[in-house]
Chains A and B, each alone.
Chain A
Amino acid sequence: QSALTQPASVSGSPGQSITISCTGTNIDIGRYNLVSWYQQYPGKVPKVIIYEDVQRPSGVSNRFSASKSGNTASLTISGLQAEDEADYYCCTYGGSAIFWVFGGGTKLTVL
């Protein structure tokens, strides 16, 4: 059982925006500004697309944005494209008792 809760799947049509939530607790997401998000295509390696809650690495499309409120982090993808179809994982630090934890992953389908 994952420490962070994500919806198993989300879907959207090209051009639309979708949001993926990631719910933790006050000892992980709620305590540290260390939420990161990873995009993974089938059979490929995870790629970081957001770090430190809202920061976007160089080279990542600005269609990807993130936010956090309390114990819930969110990833928003705007202007959906077919190439965005992938699995998305949230991750955060949870202190020395658990260190780093991932969400169970969300499969994004572009209709």
Chain B
Amino acid sequence: QVQLQESGPGLVNPSQTLSLTCSVSGDSINDGSYWWTWIRQFPGKGLEWLGYIYYSGSAWYRPSLRGRLAMSIDTSNNQFSLKLSSVTAADTAMYYCARAIYKNGVVVISFDVWGQGTMVTVSS
């Protein structure tokens, strides 16, 4: 079955760029039935959708993060990535990659498969 695995540094300095990659196995990232998603969970437990990217490269981001957030997709290596710039302590969270079901090529309906998450701490 499909599995997602996040990778990246667990500690990032304030004002630097947080870079994470999600490797997908068991399914082709070229499958047009899904959007590839990043979601984070703060230490206080709240969940926050960050954005998602389609195999074509089209992406949608959380409006409050536009300007700091960029996603990319590498179909040849079956992985997608996130870059969040100018990070502060408020960006400290567990970062999950997830698969979003794109029903009939019209609407995203749920996040059905999640990676195990990677904890990122922003601190000097």
- Interfacial residues, chain A to chain B (CB-CB below 8 A): 2, 34, 36, 38, 45-48, 51-52, 57, 87, 89, 91, 93, 97-102, 104-105
Contacts and interface: CB of A to CB of B under 8 A. Distances in A.
Contacts of A48: 110-112
Interface stretch (B10-18, B23-31, B42-50, B74-82): B42-50
Interface string B59-98: 0101100000000000000000000000000000000100
B112 A34 contact: no
B96 A45 contact: yes
Contact of B112 (A57, A98, A99): A57
Interface of B: 45-49, 51, 60, 62-63, 96, 101, 107-112, 114-117
Contact of B47 (A98, A99, A105): A105
B46 A102 contact: yes
Contacts of B96: 45-46
Contacts of B48: 102
A102 B49 CA distance: 8
Contact of A45 (B46, B49, B101, B114): B114
Contacts of A97: 63
A34 B114 CA distance: 19
Given A45-B116, A45-B117, A98-B63, A52 B109 contact: yes
Contact of B109 (A2, A34, A105): A34
A14 B51 CA distance: 39
